[in-house]
């Protein structure tokens, strides 16, 4: 484990520098690119902060949908791979038409909605806030 500043503090410091010092000093395309860079750092920070919890929730939903293992993988890297594999298996079932009707369709829709909301919380949380949260 690294001493301070930690990863989150480093990201926040660079993002703050860009937003407070660099962006106001630039114009046109360079200013836009500096804003984009600051936004990317904010996204990375949110992803680091919530990645494991988000992946675990997605893995649990996929396990219920697909009848997978009862215990999630212990390591983050393995959990990422399990979610990717589960998503691929779910996509194949959707392509085969298994989610076209019935209770499985409703469960798949709920899972996809939750997954998209989790991704928006990382990529653009203001979108969910401005939309008043997700609509059903």
Which structural domain range is residue 95 located in?
7-130
C-beta neighbour count of 125 within 10 angstroms: 13
What distance in Å separates the CA atoms of residue 89 and residue 72, rounded to the nearest whole number? 17
Q: Do residues 117 and 134 lie in contact, with contact meaning Cβ atoms separated by under 8 Å?
A: yes
Tokens for 75? 């390591």
Residue 39 within any structural domain of the chain: yes
- The number of distinct structural domains making up the chain is 1
Q: Do residues 58 and 83 lie in contact, with contact meaning Cβ atoms separated by under 8 Å?
A: yes
**Quick one: residue 131, left, alpha or beta (phi over 0 = left, psi -120 to 50 = alpha)?**
alpha
> Pick from 70, 67, 50: which is nearest to 8 by CA?
50
- Whole-prediction pTM value? 0.78
Residue 135 within any structural domain of the chain: no
Instruction: Give me the average pLDDT of each 10-residue run along the chain (136 residues).
Output: 85 96 97 97 93 95 90 94 96 97 96 95 88 58
Residue 121 within any structural domain of the chain: yes
Residue 136 within any structural domain of the chain: no
Residue 113 within any structural domain of the chain: yes
pLDDT at residue number 1: 63
Q: Do residues 23 and 35 lie in contact, with contact meaning Cβ atoms separated by under 8 Å?
A: yes
Residue 2 within any structural domain of the chain: no
Helix-helix angle 28-66:76-95, to 10 degrees: 80
Residue 70 within any structural domain of the chain: yes
pLDDT at residue number 136: 46
Residue 93 within any structural domain of the chain: yes
């Amino acid at each position: 484990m690294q001493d301070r500043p930690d990863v989150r503090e480093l990201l926040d410091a660079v993002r703050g520098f860009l937003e407070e010092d660099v962006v106001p000093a630039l114009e046109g395309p360079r200013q836009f690119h500096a804003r984009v860079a600051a936004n990317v750092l904010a996204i990375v920070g949110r992803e680091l902060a919530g990645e494991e919890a988000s992946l675990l929730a997605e893995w649990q939903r996929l396990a219920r949908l697909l009848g997978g293992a009862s215990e999630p993988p212990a390591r983050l890297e393995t959990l990422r791979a399990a979610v990717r594999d589960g998503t691929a298996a779910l996509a194949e079932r959707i392509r085969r038409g298994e989610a076209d009707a019935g209770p499985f369709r409703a469960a798949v829709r709920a899972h996809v909605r939750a997954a998209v909301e989790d991704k928006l919380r990382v990529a653009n949380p203001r979108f969910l806030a401005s939309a008043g949260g997700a609509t059903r």
